[in-house]
Amino acid sequence: MDTIILKIYGRDTFRVQDKTLWVPELIKSRTYQDLTPSEQQSVHPYLRHFVLRPKHQHFYRPKVEMFETLAKERKAVQYVLMITFSVPKLLFGDSLQEATHTDKIKTIQALKAGLEDVGVYVKSDVIESARVAAVHFCKNVPLPKAIRMQEVLDELMRVDISKVVDVTSTQHKQGGRVLNIYAGTIDRAFYDKVSDAMRPKNKRKDKWRISPEREVIERYGLRQKEVFRYEYRIKKMQTVMREVNTLLGRDAKTPIVFSDLFIPDLCKSMVVNSWRVLIQRPENQLALLGPSDKLGLLLHILTKAKEHSSAHSLNNALTSYGLAQAIREHGAKEVRRVIFGIWSTDHSERLTRKMRTAADFTSGLPYSNCIAFVDGELEKFTLITLALLESGI
């Protein structure tokens, strides 16, 4: 995992040493009676927002904010401490190395020490039980010379996600080699970790302080290598609860606390499952098909259709061949757009069924080489450590 946002509720659960380091300055905590009549009727998510602005330091430290919120039903004012940090950067100074579930105690201790460095005191047990508001599950995959990052991104550019989960936009920046698939409160991000780290701050995906990461890249000769990075970013507390509890087989309303993120194999399961949800959708199976001559693809589809031996097998085979070729060449999203630009969308499920049939008829054909490689490496989930970097990746 990488970036985590924790929320700690209640002014009695943490202590601030220097109130002058906050913007605006922390004067005093307020009660409900201290609020103006308009504040008591406020419908905004918070009344005041404070950001910690500590003196410059050369080592990594978490971002700390505080929100003054209104609990109308209790006629009370509540203070929420929000802490944003990268687990591997907190532990190692860079996010090429990866943290694992065995790092829980070290992470809590490092976070506690990092907060104390900026004058915020929180007990270890409070950190361990802090609510998770957002989390990025991720994996670094070093690519061999035979597979280029641009190839992987070009393949993934052709995938689509059902409109049911509200795909808002897809970005592909040639210079930064970044691809984002936004789906509501979930963002799938794909990019070259090494290339991104060497770019200027305002142009890279990772906005954190980057000099220690660059030092690792230079020290271990990684500048000429490409490291595929997949981040499955869950950006809202309710979505974190739904995603993690579903995986753990718990009630969907069970709060997710910091210690839950260190359950063995949780990170691997979240990364691999989310990847498979993406590439195993019928239309995406067609988009990611490996190289095959057109006649070979037709013969494979005809053979599969013949096995079904229904009255419309040949028609289904020819339709499937046309869809497979179009999606393979132009991408699932573009093919949907073109079709629904001419035909009515009233029964879009019919196209979905045809895509599912085409995916069935192409079953047995492999993914492209680069997608198959990434898929295999994610399944292995080899931990990137300093020892592995020293041995050469």
Structure confidence at residue 60 as a pLDDT band (50, 70, 90): confident
- The 10 Å CB-count burial string (b at 16+, else e) for 183-211 is bebbbbbbbbbbbbbebeeeebbbebebe
Of 159, 173, 290, 147, nearest to 228 (Cα)? 147
Q: Is residue 390 part of a domain?
A: no
Digit-coded pLDDT (tens) for 143-161:
999 999 989 998 998 888 7
Do 22 and 141 fall within a single domain?
yes
> For residues 282 and 160, is the Cβ–Cβ distance under 8 A?
no
Q: Coil, strand or helix: which one is 190?
A: strand
pLDDT at 166 over 50: no
What is the distance of C-alpha 272 from the center of its chain?
Answer: 12
pLDDT at 138 over 90: yes
From 228, 246, 279, give the residue that closes a domain: 279
Do 191 and 329 fall within a single domain?
no
Digit-coded pLDDT (tens) for 78-102:
999 999 999 999 999 888 999 999 9
pLDDT at 332 over 60: yes
Q: What domain range includes position 57?
A: 3-279
Do 235 and 300 fall within a single domain?
no
Do 90 and 70 fall within a single domain?
yes
Do 177 and 255 fall within a single domain?
yes
49 contacts: CB under 8 Å, gap ≥ 6? 65, 66, 67, 68
Do 68 and 199 fall within a single domain?
yes
Instruction: Describe the strand order of the beta sheet including 63-71 as a list of residue ranges.
Output: 22-23, 48-52, 63-71, 76-86, 3-9, 131-142, 227-234, 186-192, 178-183, 167-173
Tell me which range, 25-39, 156-170, 229-243, is most confidently predicted by mean pLDDT: 229-243
Q: How many domains is the chain partitioned into structurally?
A: 2
52-68: average pLDDT: 88
Q: Is residue 383 part of a domain?
A: no
Q: Which residues pair with 4 in a beta bridge?
A: 85, 135
pLDDT, residue 291, reads: 81
Do 225 and 294 fall within a single domain?
no
Phi, psi of 44 (to 5 degrees): -75, 155
Do 137 and 171 fall within a single domain?
yes
Do 224 and 339 fall within a single domain?
no
pLDDT at 115 over 80: yes
Of 36, 348, 384, 34, nearest to 220 (Cα)? 384
Please identify which residue in the block is written with the tokens 């061949």. 321
Q: What's the pTM?
A: 0.89
pLDDT at 251 over 50: yes
> For residues 231 and 205, is the Cβ–Cβ distance under 8 A?
no
From 279, 313, 339, give the residue that closes a domain: 279
CA distance 70 to 152: 47
> For residues 54 and 61, is the Cβ–Cβ distance under 8 A?
yes
